[in-house]
Amino acid sequence: MYPDERRILMTPGPVVFSIDTLRYMLSTVYEHTSLDFALIYGEAVRKFRRVVGARDGVPTFIIPGSGTLAMEASLVNTVKPGSRVLVVSHGYFGDRWARIASSNGYDVKVLEAEPGDIVGEDVIVGELSKSRYEAILVNHVETSTGVRADIEGLARVARKFDSLLVVDGVSSVAAEPLECSNWGVDVVLTASQKALETPPGLALISMCTEKALEAYGEASKNVKGFYLRLSEWEKVMRAYEEGRISYYATPATHLVVALERSLEKILREGLENRVKRHAALAKTLRAGLEAMGLKIVARGEEIAANTVTAAYTPPGVNPSELRSKMTTRNVIIAMPLHPALRDKSFRIGHMGSVNANDIISTIAALERTLKTLGAEIELGSGLKAAQETLVNLNL
Ligand SMILES: *Cc1c(COP(=O)(O)O)cnc(C)c1O
């Protein structure tokens, strides 16, 4: 039940967080009405804005909950009930947008891509030209297939058609390029346990543009229910930022401390360096997998994500057997999520503190495991390609 062997966690969330983060998190019990905690919370809010490229002072929320809560809260607080919304779906989490919107009574239209592909800008423009949509809902990285949407391009399109762009950045924030205010991405949301290198349990949202502020000002007044009312949480966020105490519902105190430390680490590495590191390691992994003869789900390098890779299993290899045999070799990979990819693919997460050693160990364990499972793999083929990629990248 409690594994005592050292393991390499290669899942797309949760991810390993640093000992430093853990140390601060457990150093004491922070009480949510103490000034110390208010100061830490305020710092976390300010640092999060910098990580997503949000203008100073825009409404930003860090509340207890998972990424799914961040999706739902973003939507219901910025788009009036009953509005038409366009979901651009690249897989499992895109479909989650559609389900969240439908269950909240929005009029939903879904544009879908084949697994491993993204919906073309022409298709989106075509749909927006036909009818008016209050909002466009999309995932920056689709974690079920390992593809990245062109968010900067979508922001231009959304502005042209006067639709609000709400971006689920759960698998992208702090590992893919993003400047939400400059790009005109209206609303960005994420969760703590992915590229933010923090334990699960926090939902994060930023309202990045003037348009988002207007939409939020209107829609948040009419939010049904209690917990998801961001206009109430905003008072708490403002108070903490100003070093005052306030209360709406008890914040996840330990997680906020962990988050503040992780955000500090992220900003110290530098966003540009961080994105570069993720991109280089993602490229290395894919070079290794392809050289082993495996096929990557993402249609091409230009849309392949920095944070997660899905690949097809070789003929005759069952994904759950692959995962369990990899686990006995102390490398944890993830199962397929996309309905069309079940039984024939697997996923590797490479976000957060991932380094070249993790990638090399994963490829090595994968070669041995697949060989043992009867796949035609030449031992060393993936490793050689990965090593060469790392040398070329000077890593
Ligand atoms: C993980 C993930 C989610 C869901 O987050 P939870 O914290 O599990 O609710 C949503 N969107 C994307 C893109 C994800 O990767």
User: Quick one: which atom of ligand 1 is closest to the CA of 191?
Assistant: 7
Residues in the chain: 395
Provide the pLDDT for residue 80. Answer: 96
Predicted confidence (pLDDT) per residue in 119-148, tens digit: 999 999 999 999 999 999 999 999 999 999
Beta carbons within 10 angstroms of residue 343's beta carbon: 9
* Ligand 1 geometric centre to CA of 298 (Å): 19
What's the whole-number average pLDDT of the chain? Answer: 97
* Ligand 1 geometric centre to CA of 389 (Å): 30
Percent of the chain with pLDDT over 70: 100
Element (H, E) at 349: strand 345-349
Instruction: Ligand 1: list residues with CB < 6 Å.
Output: 13, 66-68, 93, 139, 141, 143, 168, 170-171, 191
Element (H, E) at 109: strand 107-112
pLDDT above 90: residue 210? yes
1 pLDDT band (50/70/90 cuts)?
A: confident
Provide the pLDDT for residue 279. Answer: 98
* Ligand 1 geometric centre to CA of 394 (Å): 33
Residue whose Cα lies nearest atom 5 of ligand 1: it is: 67
Contacts of 105 (CB under 8 A, 6+ apart): 81, 82
Predicted confidence (pLDDT) per residue in 90-117, tens digit: 999 999 999 999 999 999 999 999 999 9
- Cα of 297 vs its chain's centroid, Å: 18
- Cα of 54 vs its chain's centroid, Å: 17
* Ligand 1 geometric centre to CA of 272 (Å): 24
Backbone φ and ψ of 165, nearest 5°: -100, 115
Predicted confidence (pLDDT) per residue in 52-76, tens digit: 999 999 999 999 999 999 999 999 9
Percent of the chain with pLDDT over 90: 97
Provide the pLDDT for residue 159. Answer: 98
pLDDT above 90: residue 4? no
pLDDT above 90: residue 5? no
Structure tokens at 219: 């829609």
Backbone φ and ψ of 124, nearest 5°: -65, -45
Beta carbons within 10 angstroms of residue 372's beta carbon: 11
Provide the pLDDT for residue 390. Answer: 98
Dist. CA 89–CA 289, nearest whole Å: 26
Dist. CA 124–CA 229, nearest whole Å: 31
Residue whose Cα lies nearest atom 3 of ligand 1: it is: 67
Provide the pLDDT for residue 48. Answer: 98
Pocket residue to mutate for ligand 1, from 143, 188, 204, most atoms within 8 A of Cβ: 143
Q: What domains are defined for the chain?
A: 8-14+270-392 (3.90.1150.10), 19-269 (3.40.640.10)
Q: What is the mean pLDDT of residues 360-383?
A: 98
Provide the pLDDT for residue 2. Answer: 84
